[in-house]
Amino acid sequence: MTNAEEQAHHLVNEAEKKLSPKGFLQSIFGYHKNRADDAIECYQKAGNLFKLAKNWHQAGSAFKAAGDLNLEHNNRTEAANDYVLASKCFEKYDISNAINFSLSAIQIYTDLGRFTMAAKQHGNIAEIYEHNLELEKAVQHYEQAADYFKVEENYVLAKRCLLKIAEYSSSEFQDYTKAINIYQEIGFYDLKTPILQYNAKDNLFKAGLCHLCIDLMNAKHALDLYLDKYPAFETSMQYGFLKNIIECVEDLDEDAFSRVVRDYDNQVRLDTWHTKILLTIKKQMKEHPNLL
């Protein structure tokens, strides 16, 4: 046992002593709350020492104890903060408990109107599910996080969540309409701010590719819409590639399609998302040419 763990165990014992009955007179004269505050401080210090020793189980348990005491004494913000710390510790070895403590914190933050804090916890849960490849649950929590960030008018943080939703909705769940709406929402939002306009082309490009997964005519109309709203888009590599791809799909020319993709990939390395979407478009050309 490390020195930090020894100190932590000592603090836990001190906390338990402070919470044990001390006699009728102390309760009468209001000492109980002081003992609770001291016990909370002991549990929190113990939690940090257990973290230092990488004893995540004991650290999480100590922060949980602090949170429960804070909640019992109506220190709700402090309780939520303790549950967040407990969640981070449990995340190392017990995913189910980690999520439950984050949900407890979310409930408190939401009740208190602290939506940014609640949103961050939804984002944390989403990342846990994402890491464990439970993508449907991850998307649900990214959606809730985005909604809460929007309530607080923090669109920068909301965008990060929305992009995750669009990514998985299109590449994993084939919900291209949902992805299109998000990519266009973000693209059009960025066009309103000169410093962000450069980013708009990437999201409009992704929206255009998603359109091609559904319908050729919609993709062509979308491309016209993007040019109308963002004339500078026409000079971008993304526009040129999208225009060439649309022409290949319209002609049902798979060889040209492959050549255009290969040439673009040589200039701008295509990531996994783009590759998946382009393969879907090519598959549509083969299997459902009448939809194009």
Domain ranges (residues) in the chain:
1-112, 174-292
pLDDT score of 102: 98
Find the mean pLDDT for residues 32-46.
88
Task: Please state, in angstroms and rounded to a whole number, the distance separating the CA atoms of residues 99 and 122.
Answer: 9
Q: Evaluate if pTM is beyond 0.85.
A: yes
> 3.40.1190.20, 1.25.40.10, 3.30.70.20, 2.60.15.10: which CATH number matches 1-112?
1.25.40.10
> Rg (Cα) of the chain, in Å, rounded?
27
Region for 252 from its dihedrals, namely left if φ exceeds 0, alpha if ψ lies in -120 to 50, beta otherwise: left
In CATH terms, are 1-112 and 174-292 the same topology?
yes
DSSP string, 163-231: HHHHHHHHHTT--HHHHHHHHHHHHHHHHTSGGGHHHHHHHHHHHHHHHHTT-HHHHHHHHHHHHHH-G
- Whether residue 209 contacts residue 279, with contact meaning beta carbons closer than 8 Å, is answered with no
Nearest to 276 by CA among 287, 286, 268, 284: 284
List the single range of 31-35, 115-119, 280-284 with lowest mean pLDDT. 31-35
Residue 288: predicted pLDDT? 65
The residue behind tokens 């165990």 is: 9
Residues 139-176: tens digit of each pLDDT: 999 999 999 999 999 999 999 999 999 999 999 999 99
Higher pLDDT, 33 or 191: 191
CATH number of the structural domain 174-292:
1.25.40.10
Asked whether residue 28 carries a pLDDT value surpassing 60, the answer given is no
CA–CA distance, 277 with 282 (Å, rounded to integer): 9
Please state, in angstroms and rounded to a whole number, the distance separating the CA atoms of residues 292 and 218.
10
pLDDT surpasses 90 at 291:
no
Are 50 and 58 within 8 A, CB to CB? yes
> pLDDT-derived band of residue 22, with 50, 70 and 90 as boundaries?
low
pLDDT, residue 25, reads 45
Q: Which helix (H) or strand (E) holds 161?
A: helix 155-171
Q: In this predicted model, what pLDDT tens digit does every residue of 96-117 receive, in sequence order?
A: 999 999 999 999 999 999 999 9
